Chains A and B, each alone.
Chain A
């Protein structure tokens, strides 16, 4: 049982390049989330999904797109990377948002540097 895994662990991009971050979970969770974490700031929600085939915007969605084609995978895409997107990206999943099932399990993070 690997929990939540993220690929890649680290990536360097040039401004304007595109890339996709992959998140996978093996806990059969319905809900999945993408966050970014910047120095001195709390985690901020980019996009989330409440089930296979569904996605929704979070707090800071601009410049990112997501897809949830399979229940276990949640992809985060950057179409044209900007230096402001340099950050650590965390994926998380939870069984539900309802009482007793809200705990989010986080992946190890992807460190992205945009030059």
Chain B
């Protein structure tokens, strides 16, 4: 069964600090991995998307990495801001015609001033 596990479940950091969120998956055959940011009461917004051949992708202060061999991804947030407080969701899609992506449960990040 395809699964996406995220850790930690929640994280509290001080403004200005860096943090790294983890995503492990068992989706096969792998097509792409996406990271979304979901603010409270809003819909998810795409941060990055990576395919099998991509190791790193950045979007401003957000940098995602992918290790397809170990089936792990991380999202690194640099110089955190209060506006980074949100849930970060890892989503993995399989190739081969399935349109059903597998969502992780998300990591809740709180940035304190």
Interface residues of A (CB under 8 A from B): 4, 31, 40-45, 48, 50, 56, 58-59, 90, 92, 97, 99, 102-109
A103 touches B34 (CB 8 A): yes
Chain B residues packing against A (C-beta within 8 Å): 4, 31-32, 34, 41-46, 49, 51, 89, 93, 99-106
Contacts of B101 in A (CB 8 A): 45
Q: What are the residues of chain A within 8 A of B49 when measuring CB–CB?
A: 102-103
- Give the chain B neighbours of A97 by CB distance below 8 A: 93, 99
Q: B32 touching A102 by the CB < 8 A rule? A: yes
Which residues on the B side are within 8 Å of A92 (C-beta)?
A: 43
**Cα A74 to Cα B104 with chains together (Å):** 25
A31 vs B51: C-alpha distance when bound (angstroms):
20
- Name the residue of chain B whose CB is nearest to the CB of A6: B43
Ranked 4 nearest A-B pairs via Cβ? A106-B43, A42-B103, A43-B103, A42-B105
- Does the CB pair A40–B105 fall under 8 Å? yes
Name the residue of chain B whose CB is nearest to the CB of A108. B43
Please state if B45 and A106 are interface contacts (CB–CB under 8 Å): yes
Do residues A44 and B103 form an inter-chain contact, with CB atoms below 8 A?
yes
Nearest-CB residue, chain B, relative to A56: B99
A31 to B32 Cα, complex, angstroms: 17
Please determine whether B106 and A42 come into contact, CB atoms closer than 8 angstroms. Answer: yes
Contacting residues, chain A, for B31 (C-beta < 8 A):
102
